[in-house]
């Protein structure tokens, strides 16, 4: 059984990450999305183990202490992180695991799991990103401008990722990510077993 | 215009490289096969510029001297090599160029063009390879055994390549190579222009 890939996926806010991950999961039964842990309270409709693993600050800190978190960060008083155990279990079962994560978290993952595959999802242009942010119709103009500014600061970090996928259409972006996963499974560094199997096949 | 990829494709004799390259070219108008130069005489039906560039020993040596050959080797008194100029022209025009080449040549390419993408095509097993070699029905048993022995020595070199593609079915092998080319075009190292374009898009 070939070990599954660990895939770090980052994008500026409004980059359309959610839609693309949803489509990618729908099309590939062998790909799962990692569920984050958080100390914040569940919002209405959020289920434990589905949207987040809801946990106490004490438990969360104990998990960090014991090396049980792949990465973690604090936002407005709440801790967020990626529990290591489910990721490892899925990968051992040959399943590719996607971590939807921001730039800082992506960097932490790369340092503890250098074999991870990192993908940065870019909007086709800043005007398109602005349109998409505004198109939601739910955000006040001030928030849109704040997100645009944040995106402008995040985009240069794409250089630190292995791959850049431009989110022009969902279809094309998903196909590009599928090609990346397929190609990564063919990397010779992952092919030692294949070579052994063929050489001992007579 | 994004520069085309330089793709080194190697396989043990009988690996089915010819069939796969033919199918790959038929399906992808943006991919071309590099034509080798040789000092050997044309065989009946061989066309200059199609099967080989036929040239004199003097011209060939002059091309090596001036840095005009990406790699070269001598077999039974004849020189064979990859002329650099057509490869560069195609790549500048955004076309991916495939070099069908043996292990030694592959190594030479990697040292002069470190940005090349190298793929090693493996048979699914040694018995299948033996079957394929014998299946041609054109080779005496001695040649089949010699090729098998050579394959056994060549297969471990797959480790030096970027990717390993197992030639189980032509369809799957071609799709795998297509995924590799698509993924390689998305490498962030090739994405500097994309980042620049987006950041200056407002």
> Does residue B1 lie within any of the structural domains?
no
Q: What DSSP designation does A5 have?
A: P
**The predicted structure's pLDDT at residue A132:** 87
**The predicted structure's pLDDT at residue A159:** 93
Q: Bigger pLDDT: A20 or A134?
A: A20
Chain A hits for B161, CB-CB cut-off 8 Å, are: 188
Q: Is the pLDDT of residue A164 over 90?
A: yes
ipTM: 0.89
Q: How many domains does chain B have?
A: 1
- pLDDT tens-digit profile of A34-63? 999 999 999 999 999 999 999 999 999 999
**The predicted structure's pLDDT at residue A37:** 96
Dihedral angle at the C-alpha atoms of A14, A20, A23, A25, nearest 10 degrees? -120
**The predicted structure's pLDDT at residue B7:** 97
Range with the lowest mean pLDDT among A91-100, A119-128, A133-142, A147-156?
A133-142
Chain B hits for A158, CB-CB cut-off 8 Å, are: 188, 191, 195
Residues A121-144 have a mean pLDDT of 86
CA distances B163 to A3, A192, B121, B153, B184, Å, are 17, 11, 9, 18, 11
Among B85, B115, B121, B99, CA closest to B185: B115
**The predicted structure's pLDDT at residue B138:** 75
How many angstroms separate the CA of residue A46 from the nearest CA in chain B?
A: 35
Q: Give me the DSSP letters along B7-70.
A: EEEE--TTS-HHHHHHHHHHH-TTEEEPPPEESSPPPTT--BTTTBEE--HHHHHHHHHTT-EE
Domain harbouring B33, CATH code = 3.40.50.300
Q: Is the pLDDT of residue A94 over 90?
A: yes
> Does residue A1 lie within any of the structural domains?
no
> Does residue B13 lie within any of the structural domains?
yes
Share of chain A above pLDDT 90, in %: 68
Q: Supply the pTM of this predicted model.
A: 0.91
How many angstroms separate the CA of residue B69 from the nearest CA in chain A?
A: 27
**The predicted structure's pLDDT at residue A33:** 96
How many angstroms separate the CA of residue B181 from the nearest CA in chain A?
A: 8
**The predicted structure's pLDDT at residue B176:** 97
**The predicted structure's pLDDT at residue B13:** 79
> Does residue A189 lie within any of the structural domains?
yes
A191 and chain B in contact, CB less than 8 A: yes
> Does residue B102 lie within any of the structural domains?
yes
CB spacing of B125 vs A201 below 8 angstroms: yes
**The predicted structure's pLDDT at residue A191:** 84
10-residue stretch averages of pLDDT, chain B, 202 residues long: 92 85 96 96 93 96 95 92 95 96 87 93 92 81 89 92 95 97 94 88 74
User: How many other CB atoms sit within 10 Å of the CB of residue B152?
Assistant: 15
Question: CA nearest A125 in B: which residue?
Answer: B198
What is the 3 state secondary structure string of A103-154?
A: HHHHHHHHHHCCCCEEEEEECCCHHHHHHHHHHCCCCCHHHHHHHHHHHHHH
Contacts (Cβ under 8 Å, ≥6 apart) of A126: A148, A151, A152, B198, B199, B201, B202
User: Of all helices (H) and strands (E), which one includes residue A63?
Assistant: helix A57-65
Among B120, B174, B170, CA closest to A194: B120
Q: Bigger pLDDT: A106 or A64?
A: A64
Q: Find which of A179, A180, A197, A200 to mutate to test the B interface (most B CBs within 10 Å of its CB).
A: A179
How many angstroms separate the CA of residue A35 from the nearest CA in chain B?
A: 26
> Does residue B130 lie within any of the structural domains?
yes
Domain membership of residue B43 as a residue range: 6-199
Mean pLDDT across chain A, nearest whole number? Answer: 92
> Does residue B121 lie within any of the structural domains?
yes
Residues A183-202 have a mean pLDDT of 88
- Please report how many Cα atoms fall inside a 13 Å half-sphere around the Cα of residue B29, on the Cβ side: 0
**The predicted structure's pLDDT at residue A202:** 67
CA distances A71 to A63, A130, B1, Å, are 11, 30, 38
> Does residue B193 lie within any of the structural domains?
yes
User: How many other CB atoms sit within 10 Å of the CB of residue A180?
Assistant: 24
Cα–Cα distance for residue pair B132/B135, rounded to 1 Å: 5
């Amino acid at each position: 059984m070939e070990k599954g890939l660990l895939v770090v996926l980052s994008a500026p806010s409004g980059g359309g990450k959610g839609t693309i991950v949803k489509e990618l999961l729908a099309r590939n039964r062998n790909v799962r999305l990692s569920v984050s842990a958080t100390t914040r309270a569940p919002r209405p409709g959020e289920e434990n183990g589905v949207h987040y693993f809801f946990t106490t600050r004490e438990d969360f800190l104990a998990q960090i202490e014991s090396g049980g978190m792949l990465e973690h960060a604090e936002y407005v008083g709440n801790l967020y992180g990626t529990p290591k155990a489910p990721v490892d279990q899925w990968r051992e079962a040959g399943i590719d695991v996607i971590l939807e994560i921001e730039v800082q978290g992506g960097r932490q993952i790369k340092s503890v799991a250098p074999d991870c595959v990192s993908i940065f999802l870019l909007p086709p242009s800043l005007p398109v990103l602005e349109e998409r942010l505004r198109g939601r119709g739910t955000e006040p103009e001030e928030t849109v401008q704040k997100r645009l500014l944040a995106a402008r600061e995040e985009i240069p970090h794409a250089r630190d990722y292995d791959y850049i996928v431009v989110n022009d259409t969902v279809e094309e972006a998903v196909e590009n990510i599928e090609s990346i996963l397929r190609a990564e499974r063919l990397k010779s560094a992952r092919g030692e077993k294949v070579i052994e199997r063929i050489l001992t096949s007579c």
